[in-house]
Protein backbone atom coordinates (compact mmCIF):
# COMPACT_ATOMS: atom_id res chain seq x y z
CA UNK A 1 0.00 0.00 0.00
CA UNK A 2 1.38 3.40 -0.95
CA UNK A 3 0.17 6.61 0.64
CA UNK A 4 1.19 10.17 -0.14
CA UNK A 5 1.40 12.66 2.69
CA UNK A 6 1.76 16.40 2.15
CA UNK A 7 4.10 18.03 4.66
CA UNK A 8 3.87 21.61 6.02
CA UNK A 9 6.12 23.11 3.34
CA UNK A 10 4.12 21.59 0.54
CA UNK A 11 6.57 18.78 -0.11
CA UNK A 12 5.09 15.39 -0.67
CA UNK A 13 6.50 12.52 1.24
CA UNK A 14 5.80 9.03 0.10
CA UNK A 15 5.36 6.37 2.72
CA UNK A 16 5.21 2.83 1.59
CA UNK A 17 3.43 0.43 3.88
CA UNK A 18 3.29 -3.32 3.79
CA UNK A 19 1.43 -6.03 5.62
CA UNK A 20 3.49 -7.96 8.17
CA UNK A 21 2.64 -11.00 10.19
CA UNK A 22 3.01 -10.48 13.92
CA UNK A 23 3.78 -13.72 15.71
CA UNK A 24 1.06 -14.96 18.01
CA UNK A 25 1.55 -14.16 21.64
CA UNK A 26 1.80 -17.12 23.97
CA UNK A 27 0.67 -16.99 27.56
CA UNK A 28 0.71 -19.61 30.23
CA UNK A 29 -2.75 -20.67 31.34
CA UNK A 30 -4.08 -23.49 33.46
CA UNK A 31 -4.79 -26.52 31.30
CA UNK A 32 -6.30 -28.42 34.19
CA UNK A 33 -5.80 -29.02 37.91
CA UNK A 34 -6.02 -32.51 39.41
CA UNK A 35 -7.46 -33.21 42.83
CA UNK A 36 -4.56 -34.43 44.96
CA UNK A 37 -6.76 -37.13 46.51
CA UNK A 38 -9.01 -38.58 43.78
CA UNK A 39 -7.46 -37.29 40.57
CA UNK A 40 -10.61 -35.55 39.35
CA UNK A 41 -9.64 -32.75 36.97
CA UNK A 42 -10.72 -29.15 37.04
CA UNK A 43 -10.30 -27.42 33.70
CA UNK A 44 -10.21 -23.81 34.72
CA UNK A 45 -8.91 -22.92 38.15
CA UNK A 46 -6.85 -24.01 41.13
CA UNK A 47 -9.65 -23.19 43.54
CA UNK A 48 -12.93 -22.80 41.63
CA UNK A 49 -14.52 -26.18 40.95
CA UNK A 50 -17.90 -24.78 39.92
CA UNK A 51 -19.56 -26.63 37.07
CA UNK A 52 -22.64 -24.54 36.30
CA UNK A 53 -23.14 -20.89 35.51
CA UNK A 54 -24.59 -20.15 38.93
CA UNK A 55 -22.67 -22.77 40.88
CA UNK A 56 -20.24 -21.85 43.62
CA UNK A 57 -17.78 -24.57 44.64
CA UNK A 58 -14.48 -23.16 45.81
CA UNK A 59 -11.85 -24.98 47.82
CA UNK A 60 -8.56 -23.44 48.87
CA UNK A 61 -6.11 -25.11 51.21
CA UNK A 62 -2.81 -23.33 51.54
CA UNK A 63 -0.17 -22.34 54.03
CA UNK A 64 2.04 -19.35 53.50
CA UNK A 65 4.90 -18.39 55.71
CA UNK A 66 8.04 -16.32 55.51
CA UNK A 67 9.02 -12.75 56.24
CA UNK A 68 7.34 -9.53 55.19
CA UNK A 69 9.15 -6.22 55.50
CA UNK A 70 8.00 -2.80 54.34
CA UNK A 71 10.22 -2.94 51.26
CA UNK A 72 10.30 -6.66 50.44
CA UNK A 73 9.41 -10.13 51.59
CA UNK A 74 10.01 -13.79 50.88
CA UNK A 75 8.83 -17.17 51.95
CA UNK A 76 7.13 -20.30 50.77
CA UNK A 77 3.56 -21.25 50.02
CA UNK A 78 2.24 -24.81 50.17
CA UNK A 79 -1.03 -25.65 48.43
CA UNK A 80 -3.20 -28.69 48.10
CA UNK A 81 -5.67 -29.03 45.26
CA UNK A 82 -8.69 -30.78 46.72
CA UNK A 83 -12.03 -31.12 44.93
CA UNK A 84 -15.22 -30.25 46.83
CA UNK A 85 -16.25 -33.93 47.05
CA UNK A 86 -12.96 -34.97 48.67
CA UNK A 87 -13.08 -31.92 50.93
CA UNK A 88 -16.48 -32.99 52.25
CA UNK A 89 -16.10 -36.76 52.25
CA UNK A 90 -12.41 -37.19 53.15
CA UNK A 91 -10.79 -34.07 54.55
CA UNK A 92 -13.61 -32.82 56.78
CA UNK A 93 -14.18 -36.23 58.46
CA UNK A 94 -10.41 -36.63 58.99
CA UNK A 95 -10.13 -33.15 60.51
CA UNK A 96 -13.11 -33.89 62.73
CA UNK A 97 -11.38 -37.09 63.93
CA UNK A 98 -8.34 -34.97 64.80
CA UNK A 99 -10.54 -32.74 66.96
CA UNK A 100 -10.79 -29.81 64.58
CA UNK A 101 -13.93 -27.76 64.76
CA UNK A 102 -15.05 -26.17 61.51
CA UNK A 103 -16.04 -22.54 61.24
CA UNK A 104 -19.02 -22.00 58.95
CA UNK A 105 -20.26 -18.62 57.84
CA UNK A 106 -23.09 -17.67 55.52
CA UNK A 107 -22.37 -15.41 52.63
CA UNK A 108 -24.48 -13.41 50.24
CA UNK A 109 -24.24 -10.27 48.22
ZN1 LIG B 1 -11.11 -35.27 44.83
pTM for the model: 0.70
Statement: residue 2 has pLDDT above 60: no
Q: What would the DSSP string read from start to end of 38-61? A: T--EESS-SSB---STT---B--E
Alpha helical stretches, state H, the chain? 84-86, 92-97
Q: Collect residues with CB below 5 Å from ion ligand 1.
A: 35, 37-38, 40, 83, 86
Q: Which pLDDT score is estimated for 5?
A: 59
pLDDT in tens, 22-68: 888 898 888 889 999 999 998 878 889 998 889 999 999 999 999 99
Backbone angles phi and psi of 81, in degrees to 5 = -105, 105
- C-alpha 86 – ligand 1 centre gap (Å): 4
Q: Which pLDDT score is estimated for 86?
A: 97
- C-alpha 102 – ligand 1 centre gap (Å): 19
Mean pLDDT of 73-101: 97
CA distance 59 to 81: 8
* Domain ranges, ordered by start, for the chain: 28-97
Amino acid sequence: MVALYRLNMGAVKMIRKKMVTIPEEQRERIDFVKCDLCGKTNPSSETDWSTGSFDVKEVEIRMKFGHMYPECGNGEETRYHICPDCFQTKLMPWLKEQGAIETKTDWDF
